[in-house]
Amino acid sequence: MILKRIAIIGSTGSIGVQALDVVRRHPEKLEVVALAAGSNAELLARQAAEFNARYAAVFDKAAYPELAARCRCWTGAGLEAVNFLASLDEADLVLIAVSGAAGIYPTYEAAAAGKTVALANKESLVAAGDVIMPLARASGSMILPVDSEHSAIFQCLQGEKESVFRLWLTASGGPFRETDIAELEFVTPEQALRHPKWNMGKKITVDSATLMNKGLEVIEAHHLFAVSYDQIGVVIHPQSIVHSLVEFVDGSLLGHLGVPDMRLPIQYAFSYPERWESACERLNLLQLGELNFYPPDHKKFPALELAVSAGRRGGTMPAVMNAANEIAVESFLEGKLRFKDIPVMVERVMGQHRVVANPSLSEIMAADKWAREACRRILRK
């Protein structure tokens, strides 16, 4: 057993904090060398002290004086400092736990540097999967999924990658699975943030309520597992016990079951190719009762098909869809946009976009910026 030296980009968020909990339980196997966050210097400094990190950085330069004052290790600020930690020589494994398109650059840097990347940030693959995956293959970087569905599929594919017929992503259905379509009109941010099964950051929680999250995950699966969109299905599974499945050519299905606890997929990405003990609750099959599976309601939740259509269109369209969704979610949380108008806004911006085929990273970032401005123009009207 060798000690893995890890860097966590986004250590102060929901995934980052749970990742540090995994490290806490395996001090003989994992060592934190670097931590980065957006602006929460106070928590970042406490984490750096507890885990004896050698490097700490904030993206937001305004938070730097506080970080520097509180830390005894190397400190830095801004995108360059974050990218430096994402590709740090001293790290074997980099966890990208940033939320949103802000994860694109650090993921790109970690992949370019040939790191093993534990990837929680799905938006980087959604927007730039066509650039990041070939880059990772060329540099020898291994991308290990942290998103629970993709970790489940990755685990089902161990030892058998050839005879896949279809991947099945499960979805809890979110807090409005049983809400009448007419009532979605009046949904508040508070209601949307109350997820029935998972406790997560705000952006992904709203994405789970619109089912946009599952659309992003279809695109993520397309890139991670190199399968066509026709080979990816989505099924609603309210209990969130079966985390996803692989259907093979003979009709057999392999599924991954467990309690809904993100520390499991985080730990698997850290331990791979090994499997370690965990302190997570164990699934009690004797008390489980029924597991249900239903088709998604596309009329009520149009965001799912909208995202998949952006993935199928390809080029810069997924980046535009993703960026428009980020602005729409932010506006909804600020009370400036109704819940039902999140997919409406995304569709409008997608309709205005002139797609660039085979884009470079800078063309993807330009499309992302264009989409954000297009959203703000629509919001002003």
Binding residues (CB under 5 A) for Mg ion: these are 147-149
Residue closer to ligand NDP (CB basis): 120 or 337: 120
Least distance in angstroms from the C-beta of 286 to ligand NDP: 27
Q: Where are any strands of DSSP class E within 3-123?
A: 4-9, 30-37, 55-58, 74-77, 93-96, 116-119
Residues in 66-105 that interact with ligand NDP by CB under 6 A: 82, 97-99, 102-103
The interface partner of residue 36, options being ligand NDP, Mg ion, none and the CB cut-off 5 to 8 Å by kind, is ligand NDP
Should residue 19 be labelled a site residue for ligand NDP when binding is judged by CB under 6 A?
A: no
User: Which residue, 88 or 212, has its beta carbon nearer to Mg ion?
Assistant: 212
Asked if residue 38 binds ligand NDP (CB under 6 A), the reply is: yes
Kindly state the smallest distance separating residue 98's Cβ from ligand NDP, in Å: 4
Pick between residue 196 and residue 201 the one whose CB is nearest to ligand NDP: 201
Q: How far apart are CA 307 and CA 217, in angstroms?
A: 9
What CA–CA distance (Å, rounded) separates 153 from 254?
Answer: 9
Q: How far is the CB of 76 from ligand NDP (least distance, A)?
A: 11
Least CB distance to ligand NDP at residue 205 (A): 8
Distance between CA atoms of 122 and 219, rounded to whole angstroms?
9
User: Could you count the other beta carbons within 10 Å of the beta carbon of residue 38?
Assistant: 17
CB of 149 to Mg ion, least distance (A): 5
98 interacts with, out of Mg ion, ligand NDP, none, CB within 5 to 8 A per kind: ligand NDP
CA–CA gap between residue 273 and residue 271 (Å, rounded): 6
Task: Write down the least CB distance from residue 62 to ligand NDP, Å.
Answer: 11
Of these partners, ligand NDP, Mg ion, none, which one is at the site of residue 132 (CB under 5 to 8 Å by kind)? none
* Residues 305/343, Cβ–Cβ less than 8 Å: no
- Binding segment for ligand NDP (CB under 6 A), chosen from 9-17, 46-54, 126-134, 368-376, is 9-17
| CA atoms of 10 and 32, how far apart (whole Å) | 13
Q: List the single partner that 23 binds among Mg ion, ligand NDP, none, CB under 5 to 8 Å by kind.
A: none
- 217 close to 149: Cβ distance less than 8 angstroms: yes
Q: Does 40 bind ligand NDP (CB under 6 A)?
A: yes
Which of 343, 299, 305 lies closest to 182, judged by CA? 299
Contact residues for 294 (Cβ-Cβ < 8 A; gap 6+): 173, 235, 236, 237, 238
Tell me, by CB under 6 A, how many residues bind ligand NDP: 30
Residues in 105-124 that interact with ligand NDP by CB under 6 A: 120-123
Contact positions with ligand NDP (CB under 6 A) in 261-300? 262
13 binds, among Mg ion, ligand NDP, none (CB under 5 to 8 A by kind): ligand NDP
- Quick one: tokens of 278? 């965990």
Buried b (16+ CB within 10 A) or exposed e, 180-197: eeeebeebebeebeebee
Here the tokens at position 324 are 């428009």
DSSP 228-280: -GGGEEEEE-TT--EEEEEEETTS-EEEEE--S-THHHHHHHHHTTS-----S
DSSP state of 293: -
Name residues contacting ligand NDP, limited to 195-254 (CB under 6 A).
198, 200-201, 204
- Closer Cβ to Mg ion, 47 or 213, answer by number: 213
Using the minimum distance from each CB to ligand NDP, give the nearer residue, 84 or 378: 84
- Which residues 296-335 are close enough to bind ligand NDP by CB under 6 A? none
Confirm if 153 and 221 have CB atoms less than 8 A apart: yes
Contacts to ligand NDP by CB under 6 A = 9-16, 36-40, 59, 82, 97-99, 102-103, 120-123, 147, 198, 200-201, 204, 262
